[in-house]
């Protein structure tokens, strides 16, 4: 148990609760990259997944436990021996493993989901913690839907699991039902009425269904909670989870009202946010607190006048403190590799030499087509070049014909990882639909288009376009993102990325 009562433990569940949100699935390679970024960020605990949920989840947790050092690596399990033992098999190679067991405690869950009495739920909770404790020294217990559980009964459950060996007790607002004052009162009640509460860290896990996940989490911290479970960009089930970057910066900025500190390197917040957005295909809203594109942007004349006099007139944080640069470096076709590398580093994007080579080649190609290259262009290039090799298909050529009849036609040439070049043609109501159908014919994967969005990455007539595609296949939703100055090309790249993710998962399932 942590003896620094002023430290707030940051428990990141981006790879578990965040990843299980529709459209947020990640490949094993992407999960490892995100886990390493979380370790560099300084999170205390990484919840890597739910090993009993699927063979794929088991394998990703096992890889993260084996390869990522520094933070505690945590796996989720229901309060049953099979789940717990499966989780332990995935976690056992971790430098610092934690088993996280849970059972629902609210009346509605007891009656309609579990079909258990109050006494049976307590017994299952205690048994689950004891089984986990026999395998692992670090055990966390969660009372699912704690925000709608009777207070006296919740206190009974928490006291019992602490006696059984839980060193962290999590009080989730599973459906985002609570309001801040109410949730703080719940934490205060447990501190006052659970006799052995001093033997465990109180944790909270809040959802954002009413838009109060961060507010509820901070209210709980003020009431004595010392662990917050959160995700990068607030991704997660339904409306999402408590946003890590918002909690961390609120604690740092308002230490006068929330006297705790974290181990987070806040300069890594923006780069980590961009990484998670890139691998999930879920864009960060422009007005997102802390890491949104507009978070440190000022357009109104009065604001600009104040900023010129004193930055603190309209900024309560410095953009540099969250990893955002204070200036823009303009690059063009005459720029060299050193200038490109320097800007990459200034943006907080870490690349190895092979990734830098791919990104620089793409940069020189783009520089021949654009008058001016902005930071957003560079980020798009890096994210696109980093995606190379994540699937079996690569787009070699795309030829479009439209305007000569009621339907457009497309010819797509794709190269497989084994070196084969395949070419197919298709028609559609427009050039984008025709391109998608041609890619389907080459890959042999038929999908249902769920959503399709395009926006400018930067400004100007020669701006890069960003396409985000969401497709359904095999009962799941897959997303892809593509960038190009040609929006049809960007759309095809986004569609192919999503199809490649389906291919990777099919390959993994076949190997299993």
pLDDT digit string (tens) for 189-236?
999 999 999 999 999 999 999 999 999 999 999 999 999 999 999 999
Give the pLDDT confidence score for residue 159 in this predicted structure.
98
For the cut 70, the answer to whether the pLDDT of residue 425 exceeds it is yes
Give one DSSP letter per residue of 255-306, joined into a string: TTTS--B----GGGHHHHHHHHHHHH--PPPTT-TTTSTTTT---SHHHHHH
Helices 151-164 and 180-193 pack at an angle, to 10 degrees, of 50
For the cut 60, the answer to whether the pLDDT of residue 2 exceeds it is no
Task: List residues bridging with 53 in a β-sheet.
Answer: none
Distance of CA 455 to the CA centre of its chain: 21
Q: 161-192: per-residue pLDDT in tens?
A: 999 999 999 999 999 999 999 999 999 999 99
Element (H, E) at 455: strand 448-456
Question: Dihedrals φ, ψ of 428, to 5°?
Answer: -160, 175
Is the dihedral angle over the CA atoms 251, 256, 259, 260 positive or is it negative? positive
Give the pLDDT confidence score for residue 459 in this predicted structure.
64
Q: Confirm if 76 and 66 have CB atoms less than 8 A apart.
A: no
User: What's the whole-number mean pLDDT along residues 48-76?
Assistant: 96
Share of the chain above pLDDT 70, in %: 88
Task: Spell out the alpha helix ranges (H) of 281-409.
Answer: 301-309, 337-346, 353-367, 375-386
User: What's the whole-number mean pLDDT along residues 395-407?
Assistant: 84
Grade residue 152 by pLDDT with cuts at 50, 70 and 90. Answer: very high
CATH of domain 301-386: 1.10.238
Q: What angle do CA 239, 241, 243 make, to 5 degrees?
A: 115
Closest CA to 284 of 233, 217, 249: 233
Token pair, residue 239, equals 């409306």
Q: How far apart are CA 288 and CA 339, in angstroms?
A: 30
56-65, 313-322, 333-342 — which is least confidently predicted? 333-342
Give the pLDDT confidence score for residue 301 in this predicted structure.
44
Q: 253-309: per-residue pLDDT in tens?
A: 999 999 999 999 999 999 999 999 989 988 898 889 999 877 766 544 454 446 556
Give the pLDDT confidence score for residue 330 in this predicted structure.
45
Q: Confirm if 495 and 469 have CB atoms less than 8 A apart.
A: yes
Give the residue with greater pLDDT, 361 vs 97. 97
Closest CA to 279 of 377, 206, 384, 175: 384
Neighbours of 456 (CB within 10 A): 12
Neighbours of 198 (CB within 10 A): 9
Domain covering 393-511, topology = Double Stranded RNA Binding Domain (3.30.160)
Give the number of residues written for the chain: 512
Give one DSSP letter per residue of 180-239, joined into a string: HHHHHHHHHHHHHH-TTGGGSEEEEEEB-TTS-HHHHHHHHHHTT--EEEEBGGG--STT
Q: How far apart are CA 238 and CA 231, in angstroms?
A: 13
Closest CA to 412 of 392, 401, 396: 396
Give the pLDDT confidence score for residue 327 in this predicted structure.
35
Can you say whether residue 474 is alpha, beta or left, with left for phi > 0 and alpha for psi between -120 and 50 degrees? left
Give the pLDDT confidence score for residue 299 in this predicted structure.
40
CATH of domain 9-280: 3.20.20.70
Most confident segment among 7-21, 128-142, 401-415: 128-142
Grade residue 114 by pLDDT with cuts at 50, 70 and 90. Answer: very high
Q: Where are the domains of the chain?
A: 9-280, 301-386, 393-511
Regarding beta strands 393-401 and 448-456, do their DSSP bridges make them parallel or antiparallel, or are they unpaired? unpaired
User: What's the whole-number mean pLDDT along residues 99-114?
Assistant: 97
CB-based contacts of 432, cutoff 8 Å, min separation 6: 452, 488, 491, 492
End-to-end CA distance of the chain: 38
| pTM exceeding 0.85 | no
Q: What angle do CA 187, 261, 266 make, to 5 degrees?
A: 120
Q: 462-487: per-residue pLDDT in tens?
A: 677 888 899 999 888 888 888 888 88
Grade residue 328 by pLDDT with cuts at 50, 70 and 90. Answer: very low
Give the residue with greater pLDDT, 492 vs 390. 492
The CA distances from residue 289 to 209, 260, 310, in Å, are 17, 21, 21
Work out the mean pLDDT of the chain and round it to a whole number.
88
């Amino acid at each position: 148990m942590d003896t620094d009562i002023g430290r707030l433990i940051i428990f990141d569940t981006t790879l578990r609760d965040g990843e299980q949100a529709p459209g947020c699935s990640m490949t094993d390679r992407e999960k490892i990259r995100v886990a390493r970024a979380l370790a560099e960020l300084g999170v205390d605990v990484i919840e890597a997944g739910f090993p009993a949920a699927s063979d794929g989840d088991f394998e990703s947790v096992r890889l993260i436990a084996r390869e990522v050092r520094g933070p505690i690596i945590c796996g989720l399990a229901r309060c049953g021996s099979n789940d717990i033992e499966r989780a332990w098999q995935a976690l056992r190679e971790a430098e610092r493993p934690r088993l996280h067991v849970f059972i629902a405690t609210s009346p509605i869950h007891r009656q309609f989901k579990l079909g258990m009495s109050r006494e049976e739920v307590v017994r299952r909770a205690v048994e689950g913690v004891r089984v986990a404790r026999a395998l692992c020294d670090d055990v966390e217990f969660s009372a699912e839907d704690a925000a709608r559980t009777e207070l006296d009964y919740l206190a009974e459950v928490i006291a019992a699991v602490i006696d059984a060996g839980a060193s962290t007790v999590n009080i989730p607002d599973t459906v985002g039902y609570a309001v801040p004052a109410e949730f703080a009162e719940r934490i205060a009640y447990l501190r006052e009425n659970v006799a052995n509460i001093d033997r465990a860290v109180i944790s909270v896990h809040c959802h954002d269904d009413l838009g109060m996940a961060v507010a509820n989490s901070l209210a709980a911290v003020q009431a004595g909670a010392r662990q917050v479970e959160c995700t990068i960009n607030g991704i997660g089930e339904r409306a999402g989870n408590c946003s890590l970057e918002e909690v961390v910066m609120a604690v740092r900025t308002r230490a006068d009202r929330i006297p705790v500190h974290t181990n987070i390197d806040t300069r890594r917040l923006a780069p980590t946010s961009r990484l998670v957005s890139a691998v999930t295909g879920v864009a960060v809203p422009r007005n997102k607190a802390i890491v949104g594109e507009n978070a440190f942007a000022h357009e109104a004349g009065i604001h600009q006048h104040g900023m010129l006099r004193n930055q603190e007139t309209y900024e309560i944080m410095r953009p540099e403190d969250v990893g955002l640069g204070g200036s823009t470096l303009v690059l063009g076709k005459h720029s060299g590799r050193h200038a490109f590398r320097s800007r990459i580093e200034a943006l907080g994007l870490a690349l190895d030499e092979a990734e830098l080579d791919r990104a620089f080649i793409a940069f020189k190609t783009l520089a021949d087509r654009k008058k001016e290259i902005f930071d957003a262009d560079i980020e798009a290039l890096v994210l696109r070049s980093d995606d190379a090799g994540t699937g079996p298909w690569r787009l070699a050529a795309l030829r479009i014909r439209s305007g000569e009849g009621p339907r457009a036609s497309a010819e797509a040439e794709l190269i497989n990882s084994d070196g084969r070049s395949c070419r197919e043609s298709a028609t559609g109501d427009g050039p984008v639909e025709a391109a998608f159908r041609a890619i389907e014919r080459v890959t042999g994967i038929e999908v249902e288009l769920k959503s399709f969005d395009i926006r400018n990455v930067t400004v100007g007539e020669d701006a890069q376009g960003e396409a985000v595609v969401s497709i359904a296949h095999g009962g799941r939703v897959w997303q892809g993102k593509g960038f190009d100055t040609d929006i049809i090309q960007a759309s095809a790249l986004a569609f192919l990325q999503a199809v490649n993710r389906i291919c990777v998962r099919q390959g993994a399932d076949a190997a299993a």
